[in-house]
Structure 1
Amino acid sequence: MTGLNKLRMNLTVMNTIVLLGLSVFIAVVLYATISLNRDSDINNSLEIYCAQLAGNLDYLESEDPESPELEEDRVNFQAFLEGLNKNNVTYMVWNENFEAVSASTNLNIDSQELKNLILRYVAEKQSKYWVVNYRTDTQNLKVCTYTIIGKDGGLKTFQVIKDMSSESSVLANAVNIMSIVVIIGAVASGLCGYFLSGRSLVPIKKGMEHQQEFLADASHELRTPIAVIQTNLEVVRGDGEESVNSQMEWLNNAYNETKRMHRIVEDLMFLARADAGEVHIEDSEVDLGFLCCEVAERMLTVAAGKQINLLVDVPDTPLIVFGDESQLTQLLVILMDNAIKYSESGTYITVSAEKAGTMVVMKVADQGIGIPEADLKKVFQRFYRVDKARSREEGGTGLGLSIAQWIVERHRGVIDANSEDGRGTTMVVKFTAYSSTDKEASCERTEV
């Protein structure tokens, strides 16, 4: 099963790659969403800080900020500074001469760099609020620049600077967590995929094993008649001077094996078409009781040839089932033919049918050699025979009951074998009875 193992690995790898790709895509989208939302929130906060800082310009430019008249402004500005410190934000206020009007005591960027940003802001005619990322080997900052015209007619520039270290650390941790989750998910996906692909390939594995066994059995079954034909024809060829009549025994042996091989091939072709769903089906109402009588009448000659009595016991009332009449006929032929092959001269074979509740039960009972209990579950296997020598002698192919089982299951029925070794076998087949109610429902579905 090297091919299946390779297929299993390929399925596992493909599933893992697909799930890994999906996980990475989700992680990237999640990271981008978090990053964009974070930047948007921080940018909005910095713009608000700049506006609030501009609102405190009069207090910042006052000659005596400590005067009692500015007490309220001083309290408000101190509360504003506390909010900045809490969020790792510093500020710088410039006049038109690029002189510092006010600045945080813990300013975390060189003032010259801030001046350069102001020059870029003016030169590039940026929007009212200009937020830029400022990164060095040791710093990761966001700087928001904002200008207004003061009451004295001079240009006033406000800058707030946000230290992004903590936010970057949180985002990096989120990336690490997502990476770990993706890796764990990939490993779990691989293990689960390997397990599930193994489960899904079980039917294929069984099918391949069944096919290999079937081919081996078919080869074996065909090898025997071919060998017999070859042996008998070699005898005929070796006696070239003999007449045809004197060689008739060998020719008859070859001919009989040819007929047997033809039956094997026909049965194999039927099962192959059945497995492929290519058997032509024409369902209709079938009177199973009448069909039992009809097929039994055809099999009387075969039974009489072995001095076997064939009895039919069916009620006068119709036993209607819904199915393919030709297939149901084939089913009855197989069951009766099997019963005749494995019955001794002077015995009885009884074919009966009756209605039991919603089911039509058909039985073919013989007084033949019977089937050992250990073999009862195997009789429907292809090429299985209880008595191989006798089956070959009677011209059996070992495929009849397999075909019978397929026909019964195709008609949504059940077939079972009841037997006592040495005392005969009863094949029991159950079909759902077809009633007028079923017919009306079928007509209604057709009209709709």
Structure 2
Amino acid sequence: MKSSSIVTKLWIVINILTLIVIGVAGIVHTSIMDKIYYDVQFRQLTSLARKVANFTSTENDSQAMDLKVKMASDFIEGNIMVYDKKGIVQSSEGFAKSTKDTSLVPINPTYSPLTKDDIKELLSGETVFHKGNNPFFNTQVLTVGVPVTDPQSLIGAVVIHVPIEPLAGQLAVFKTITVYSTVGGLGLAITLSFLFSKKVFEPLRNMSRVALAMANGDFSRRITINTTDEVGLLADSLNTLSGQLQEKLAQLERLDQTRREFVSNLSHEMKTPLSIIQAFTEALQDDLAVDANEKSSYLNNIYEETARLKRLITDILDLKKMEEGYEDFKMNYVDLKLLASSVQSNFSTLAEEKGVKLIFHISRKTPLVWGDSDRLKQVFINLLDNAVRHTPRGGEIVITIGHKADNVLIEIKDSGLGIAPEDLPMIWERFYKGDKSRSRSQGGTGLGLAIVKRIIETHGGHISVWSKLGEGTIFTIILPKEMVMR
């Protein structure tokens, strides 16, 4: 465990505080234990002295009295003296020599079970209690004297002497138990404080590791959250930050990849027509055309490639504007029936040339939609152009326009060759072409479907595709109720 770690610092602080608290508590406990213990002994001996006084005051048989007093003294392992109203010892039992028939006030005060002050207090009717060395017993004793009175006067006294040594031994046992308990508690506190410190700051250590990983570019690490307190909230915030940074980084990587692919694809798309234009131009400059027809063919190829470059640049600019939100759509109510009729006229000749049948199913109840007429027409043109070009002779294309609930549904279905399953997710990407050789021969730029998707999304709609090789393709457009005129 590193000395500079926050776990170690907290552990040291907790241990210091624990030592201070336990030390102060131990000192206080030790200082008051003696007083409490001897106070308890005083109350117990006082109670016993009163009981002895009760049965001796009514006992006239001296032998019976001595027997009872002896039983009581044996019970406490001490000395009990019973005085009458004249201060003469009536019974004396227990350790040390008997003082029976001696006076409460001795001839030699320095060699007496009671001091002058004890005798004075006892004769005045007060309870006596003290501990210390007693020359009479030649040992440390605990002394309790209880006066026995009737309503008018003092009629006697009971004095109990108990050696302190056995009591001190019991007290020492209590103190030893206290010391062992304190040491054990301190050891337990040190262990628990370490475990507590480690558990409390483990999330912080995890956060530190995750933050370091983030600094090194690894945003995949996460913190396990087991609490809902401030530490848990901080861990959750760090997890959220890591996730957001990971997502942003992935977006930047995808954007960078898209840009690289865009530049590569654009270079490729422009390189071929430019090479063709250059080749035919050089052929014309070198007078390689043998006659007017061949020269016209060269010029026609140059024109077609130039037109293709123009379409490519136009599509790129349109897509860029829509992706950046700069395209200014001219929104108005659009009649899809009229729009479909216009598109049908545009494609009827091309469809006849290709031997493809166009079929339109348009519901009379199709509502007007709020949109850009030119852009919606561009959607139809792109989708129909793809359908016509990819449907073999004898096939058919079915265009269905209707509504369901508050949505307008547009479906363009062809009986063409279909799209391979692995190509379906990528058909919306810029410059993606499932069949590159056929795309070039048919004049596509590879941006049509990307533009179609962006136009529909700008109108708040959704476009999806279903396709199966050998069966055909279905494009489905849904314009939401917000775009429909009620």
TM-score exceeds 0.5: yes
Question: Which of 225, 231, 234 lines up with 2:279 in the alignment?
Answer: 231
Task: Describe the superposition over 1:173-230 as per-residue Cα deviations: whole angstroms up to 9, x where unpaired.
Answer: 7447856984996599669964667985666655655554444333322221122122
Unpaired segments of 5 or more residues in structure 2?
Answer: 40-128, 135-139, 145-160, 223-241
Q: Does 1:328 align with 2:347?
A: no
Q: Does 1:86 align with 2:177?
A: yes
Task: Describe the superposition over 1:85-133 as per-residue Cα deviations: whole angstroms up to 9, x where unpaired.
Answer: 33439xxxxxxxxxxxxxxxxxxxxxxxxxxxxxxxxxxxxxxxxxxxx
**What residue in structure 1 maps to residue 306 of structure 2?**
258
| SS state at 1:362 partner | strand
Distance 1:349 1:300 in 2: 11
Q: Does 1:292 align with 2:367?
A: no
Shift in Å, 1:329: 2.9
Distance 2:284 2:451 in 1: 37
**What residue in structure 2 maps to residue 136 of structure 1?**
none
Shift in Å, 1:315: 1.7
Taking the TM superposition and a 5 Å limit, the aligned residue runs for 1:48-447 are 48-49=28-29, 52=32, 62-64=132-134, 65-69=140-144, 81-88=172-179, 167=186, 170-171=189-190, 174-175=193-194, 182=202, 186=206, 194=220, 209=257, 211-239=259-287, 249-276=297-324, 279-280=327-328, 286-297=334-345, 299=347, 310-321=358-369, 325-343=373-391, 349-357=397-405, 359-366=407-414, 369-371=416-418, 373-374=420-421, 377=424, 379-409=427-457, 411-418=460-467, 421=470, 425-431=472-478, 433-434=480-481
Structure 1 residues 215 and 420: CA distance shift in structure 2, 3 A? same
Distance 2:357 2:301 in 1: 29
Shift in Å, 1:52: 1.9
| SS state at 2:481 partner | coil
Shift in Å, 1:335: 0.9
| SS state at 2:25 partner | helix
Distance 1:77 1:324 in 2: 106
Shift in Å, 1:382: 3.5
Q: Is the 8 A contact 1:340 1:349 kept in 2?
A: yes
Q: Is the 8 A contact 1:363 1:429 kept in 2?
A: yes
Report the TM-score, using the length of structure 1 for normalisation.
Answer: 0.56
Task: Describe the superposition over 1:401-432 as per-residue Cα deviations: whole angstroms up to 9, x where unpaired.
Answer: 233234445534232144663x7x44331315
Q: Is the 8 A contact 1:414 1:431 kept in 2?
A: yes
| SS state at 2:418 partner | coil
Unpaired segments of 5 or more residues in structure 1?
Answer: 1-23, 90-161, 441-448
Q: Is the 8 A contact 2:397 2:414 kept in 1?
A: yes
Q: Is the 8 A contact 2:396 2:414 kept in 1?
A: yes
Shift in Å, 1:371: 2.4
Q: Is the 8 A contact 2:335 2:367 kept in 1?
A: yes
| SS state at 2:446 partner | coil
Q: Is the 8 A contact 1:271 1:403 kept in 2?
A: yes
| SS state at 2:306 partner | helix
One-letter identity of the residue aligned with 2:190? L
Structure 1 residues 44 and 412: CA distance shift in structure 2, 3 A? farther
Structure 1 residues 308 and 42: CA distance shift in structure 2, 3 A? same
Task: Give the RMSD, CA atoms, in angstroms.
Answer: 5.3
Q: Is the 8 A contact 1:361 1:428 kept in 2?
A: no
Aligned residues: 340
One-letter identity of the residue aligned with 1:49? H
Q: Is the 8 A contact 1:376 1:417 kept in 2?
A: no
Structure 1 residues 49 and 409: CA distance shift in structure 2, 3 A? same
Q: Is the 8 A contact 1:319 1:433 kept in 2?
A: no
Task: Describe the superposition over 1:341-366 as per-residue Cα deviations: whole angstroms up to 9, x where unpaired.
Answer: 34567876443212245643312244
Q: Is the 8 A contact 1:313 1:352 kept in 2?
A: yes
One-letter identity of the residue aligned with 1:428? F
Taking the TM superposition and a 5 Å limit, the aligned residue runs for 1:2-41 are 27=7, 31=11, 34-35=14-15, 37-39=17-19, 41=21
Distance 2:422 2:184 in 1: 79
Structure 1 residues 375 and 321: CA distance shift in structure 2, 3 A? farther
Q: Is the 8 A contact 1:283 1:324 kept in 2?
A: yes
**What residue in structure 2 maps to residue 129 of structure 1?**
none
Taking the TM superposition and a 5 Å limit, the aligned residue runs for 1:40-51 are 41-42=21-22, 44-46=24-26, 48-49=28-29
Shift in Å, 1:398: 1.8
| SS state at 2:365 partner | coil
Distance 2:266 2:167 in 1: 98
Distance 1:30 1:294 in 2: 81
Structure 1 residues 234 and 81: CA distance shift in structure 2, 3 A? farther
Structure 1 residues 366 and 177: CA distance shift in structure 2, 3 A? closer
Tell which structure's C-alpha radius of gyration is larger: 2
| SS state at 1:341 partner | helix
Percent identity between the two aligned chains: 21
